[in-house]
Structure 1
Amino acid sequence: MKLVVGLGNPGTQYAQTRHNVGWLVVDELARRWGATWRKEKDAETAEVRVGPAPGAKVLLVKPQTFMNASGKAVQPLLAFYKLGGDDLLVVQDDLDSPFGLLKFRMGGRHGGQNGVRDIIRLLGHEAFPRLKVGINRPPAGWAVSDWVLSRWRPEEATILAELVRLGANAAEVWATAGLTEAQQGFNGTDLRPKPEPKPAPEPEMPPAEPHAPDAADI
């Protein structure tokens, strides 16, 4: 079994905030595979079989502990199913990546993401993969806490929907083929609008060649 944990906060007021993009990805996986969410002590979980029959067994997890206590939901599930860090994928928002970028990372520090920070604290190690979904740094004048709890803007909806779709695809590849293949397939994902190419400069006309006068010019 594999665990795919989408980080977020419970409650309808947080459902469409940047901090909950991990939930959007696992919700898409549950929808795609026709799974039903069930309530656990500190999480909602949904079991799916991913890929060709019989499929890889995956437990989708949405912690219900609020972001800063995410480890309280994740650590008991890993212990119950006797799983290690390699069996866990955490889908998280990433302030340090531009909106439109998607990338896997194996291990490393939490980078200020408090859900990842708490999972590391309770597991006692950093050795588990993360799927990072870029949400940008806060604009000038915004506190980080206000930015991550802000709602997506209407003009971001198209890129967000594609990021969630590709994030679900990426999690499926990780569950069925492993981290290396998932990294190779998705770490180049960049949905940011490309700048319009500059028009080529007009070619300069060569200076006119002098010509000898003909009889009509004399």
Structure 2
Amino acid sequence: MSEQGIQLIVGLGNPGAQYAGTRHNAGYWLVDRIAERAGVELRPDAKFHGLLGRLVQPDGWDLRLLKPTTFMNHSGRALAAVCRYFEIEPEHVLVAYDELDLPVGGVKLKLGGGHAGHNGLRDSIAALGSRDFWRVRIGIGHPGSKEQVVGYVLSRPSRADADAIIDAIDDTEACLPDLLRGDYQRVMNRLHARPSDPD
């Protein structure tokens, strides 16, 4: 495929040390891992309301990495600002976020859809004016009742759960060349076949 696939990867999360290891920051974890592996520095940029990095591939493809620092409920402000400035269309955007409806360590790639109650995703859709962007849903499991959700996502996972989430993030990071090429089916085949905790 000659046209580049993903041009911007956005990790959703909350800024600040108190949120750094929480389940709700799984999207941040992915962007951090990609930046770390690629040797890319994420730098604060006020006009983009977040931390931004750039990875230029030998084949000329250009990837931006973004961690909004506006808190989860206003993630779309940073996403829309970067897309406008660099003229990136929604279909070349990948948003990574924590997913209650997937088992711990599960990971799914999909294009479009609703927000399923995820505030960061809701704001991203509203700010972009489009649902037609790619998503990486990183499974964190469900606490069992609706009343427990807020406390659950804003708390740190157990060591075993954290290891499972990190494994999913590592496998997703390994798919970066296919994401840049736009070979989404190949990524889905790989990620969706991963074993994950059925509980």
Normalization by structure 1: what TM-score?
0.82
Q: Compared with structure 1, are the counterparts of its residues 85 and 35 closer, same or farther at alpha carbon in structure 2 (3 Å cutoff)?
A: same
Q: Select the structure with the greater relative contact order (CA < 8 A; seq sep ≥ 6).
A: 2
Residue 124 of structure 1: how far off its partner (Å):
1.3
Q: Residues of 1 paired with 2:176 and 2:113: CA distance?
A: 19
8 A Cα contact 1:7 1:70, kept in partner:
yes
Residue 142 of structure 1: how far off its partner (Å):
4.9
Q: Give the residue type in structure 2 aligned to 1:115.
A: G
Q: Compared with structure 1, are the counterparts of its residues 141 and 97 closer, same or farther at alpha carbon in structure 2 (3 Å cutoff)?
A: closer
**Matching of residue 157 in structure 1 with residue 126 in structure 2:** no
Of the three residues 53, 69, 72, the one matched with 1:46 is 53
SS at match of 1:112: coil
Residue 193 of structure 1: how far off its partner (Å):
7.2
Q: Residues of 2 paired with 1:19 and 1:96: CA distance?
A: 13
8 A Cα contact 1:103 1:189, kept in partner:
no
**Matching of residue 137 in structure 1 with residue 147 in structure 2:** no
8 A Cα contact 2:105 2:166, kept in partner:
no
- What number of residue pairs does the alignment pair up? 192
1:127-146 Cα deviation digits (max 9, x unpaired): 01100001111235852111
Q: Give the residue type in structure 1 aligned to 2:80.
A: Q
Q: Which runs of 5+ in 2 are unaligned?
A: 1-5
8 A Cα contact 1:101 1:133, kept in partner:
yes
Of the three residues 27, 35, 44, the one matched with 1:22 is 27
SS at match of 1:47: strand
1:16-59 Cα deviation digits (max 9, x unpaired): 00000111111010010111111112010111135xx3353110
Q: Give the residue type in structure 1 aligned to 2:61.
A: A
8 A Cα contact 2:51 2:68, kept in partner:
yes
SS at match of 1:136: coil
Q: Which runs of 5+ in 1 are unaligned?
A: 195-218
Q: Residues of 2 paired with 1:78 and 1:155: CA distance?
A: 36
Q: Residues of 2 paired with 1:94 and 1:157: CA distance?
A: 14
8 A Cα contact 2:95 2:135, kept in partner:
yes
Q: Compared with structure 1, are the counterparts of its residues 110 and 29 closer, same or farther at alpha carbon in structure 2 (3 Å cutoff)?
A: same
Alignment root-mean-square deviation, CA = 1.9
User: What aligned pairs does 1:67-216 form with structure 2 within 5 A after superposition?
Assistant: 67-140=72-145, 142-192=147-197
8 A Cα contact 2:138 2:165, kept in partner:
no
Q: Which has the higher helix share?
A: 2
1:104-162 Cα deviation digits (max 9, x unpaired): 01100001111110010111121011000011112358521111101011222332221
SS at match of 1:62: strand
